[in-house]
Amino acid sequence: MTLEIRDISRKFPVPGQEPIEALSGITLTVNDKEFLSILGPSGCGKTTLLRIIGGLDSASSGSITLNGASITRRSSRMAMIFQEYSLYPWRTVLENVTFGLEIQNMENRPAKDLGMEYLHLVGLAEFAERYPYELSGGMRQRVAVARAMAIDPEILLMDEPFGALDAQTRNLLQKELLDIWHKTKKTIIFVTHSVDEAVYLADRLVVLTSRPGRVCEIIPIDLGRPRDRTSADFALVRRKVLDLIAQPKCSLQ
């Protein structure tokens, strides 16, 4: 699986004014089974880029292809997880997980069985018959992960999924996400504001400039796994990234 992003730009029309340019000339390749993080300031177009990749928005120019096939609309080959949990409050945890499977009208395996498999994967099988209001924020986000994984996408798109959580829960879910990634071998594209989070999770880190978002630099994170946030090597990589984004060409101000 190879995802090719070529010269993507996005302009938003404004009545009576010049269009707002959110993205300009974004080009990068995402490799099979890679964990890629995208880091940038508010308003630099990170979410817009993720939505274009997922077929939820259209680029003003450029192209995106997956294994040579053009991506112009939503596809079951990709699933997106947002910062908001986006769970249906009237459906149980299991019913939320199986929602996408029901839309796909799966016939060769009962949706309930497959839904339970993914609830076991995220450690929530015992909460299958609960409702979202009965869960903590971290648990609701795990349900969102299970729902996305249940449709068996090739690529998981994650838009600051842990941004609203407290630090302890956020660190725990980062570790759990890496466990799921190792087990499922999915490609993940993960948007974040946090340098620490990006260095902890990613194989490579894409740093975007302020609006219009451009690729400032792509940084390989050459650290073994599991990663120790307290190690000298981790601190050195984190400092390298912080020094880079402090430069005028990549400023996150």
Residue 161 lies in a domain: no
pLDDT tens-digit readout, 31-71: 999 999 999 888 889 999 999 999 999 999 999 999 888 88
Residue 132 lies in a domain: yes
Residue 188 lies in a domain: no
Q: Which domain holds residue 127?
A: 87-152
Residue 95 lies in a domain: yes
pLDDT tens-digit readout, 127-183: 999 999 999 988 998 899 899 988 889 999 999 988 878 888 889 999 999 999 998
Residue 108 lies in a domain: yes
pTM assigned to the model = 0.91
Residue 72 has which token pair?
């112009």
Q: What's the whole-number average pLDDT of the chain?
A: 89
* pLDDT band at residue 203 under the 50/70/90 scheme: very high
Tally of structural domains, the chain: 1
Residue 38 lies in a domain: no
Residue 172 has which token pair?
């725990």
